[in-house]
Amino acid sequence: EIVMTQSPATLSVSPGERATLSCRASQSVSSNLAWYQQKPGQAPRLLIYGASTRATGIPARFSGSGSGTEFTLTISSLQSEDFAVYYCQQYNNWVFTFGPGTKVDIK
Amino acid sequence: EVQLVQSGAEVKKPGESLKISCKGSGYSFTSYWIGWVRQMPGKGLEWMGIIYPGDSDTRYSPSFQGQVTISADKSISTAYLQWSSLKASDTAMYYCARVVAAAGTRAFDIWGQGTMVTVSS
């Protein structure tokens, strides 16, 4: 079973600043990694798939990188609407696993 | 518009059965896997399983195998998640989501609005 971890659990950032979120897999998942954003009371929204490909309609300030076991989601300049919880998710051999999430809040 | 619309909130007693639904529209329902994801109150996302409505091929998370049943009726573009005997610990928000296959991987690109299930005596 592949276990996903995310750090930090909470990230406090000022609007306009850069945010860097980390996700680690317990074994290699190649580039089978996605990132989601979830705001309170809403369903998750797909941001990144294939580790680095932005989903349709996702602003360019969101970028993903990494492969194997280490992945990063970067938000280049945080906007007010970006304060939310972010989850990574791996896919391997018909099994999906989510990380525990990183909450990005206002500093 | 591509969308998944889920059935409404449910309040049930322990031991009761339940079936919630997820109706797809705006795309070829039989050509995409549909997944179910649980979110317990204040907690993270947990993948439960997926189904391919084209032939009802189903895969379950080991954590949910035997605990729930996932099915689909392609004639009405609807996927289902059901319980035969609910427990208080099944209280959660349940999301359905479409699985997109792209760039050699799979992810959930379209999500339903969620169905809140509350199990309480």
Q: What's the rounded Cα separation, in Å, for the pair A44 and A41? A: 10
Q: Which of residues 21-50 of B touch A (CB under 8 A)?
A: 35, 37, 44-47, 50
Give A36: exposed, middle or buried? Use CB within 10 Å, 0-12, 13-18, 19+: buried
Task: Give A42-100 pLDDT, tens digit per residue.
Answer: 999 999 999 999 999 999 999 999 999 999 999 999 999 999 999 999 999 889 999 99
pLDDT at residue A4 is higher than 90: yes
Contact A98 B61 (CB under 8 A): no
Q: What's the rounded Cα separation, in Å, for the pair A83 and A74? A: 13
B103: confidence class by pLDDT, cuts 50, 70, 90? confident
Q: A63 to chain B, minimum CA–CA distance in Å?
A: 16
Residue range A9-23: mean pLDDT, rounded:
97
**B48 closest CA partner among B40, B56, A27:** B40
- Residue A95: how many other CB atoms lie within 10 Å: 15
In the Cβ-directed half-sphere of A21, how many Cα atoms lie within 13 Å?
A: 36
Locus of tokens 């031991």: B15
Structure tokens at B3: 């969308």
Spell out which residues of chain A touch residue B97, defining contact as CB-CB under 8 Å: 43-44
Contact B111 A100 (CB under 8 A): no
Classify residue B68 by its DSSP letter: B
Asked whether the beta carbons of A72 and A66 are under 8 A apart, the reply is yes
Asked whether the beta carbons of B115 and B6 are under 8 A apart, the reply is yes
Q: Determine the residue of chain B that is closest to A101 in CA distance.
A: B44
Q: What's the rounded Cα separation, in Å, for the pair B96 and B75? A: 18
Spell out which residues of chain B touch residue A89, defining contact as CB-CB under 8 Å: 45, 47, 107-108
Structure tokens at B67: 């605990």
A interface test, pick of B38, B39, B45 with most A CB neighbours within 10 Å: B45
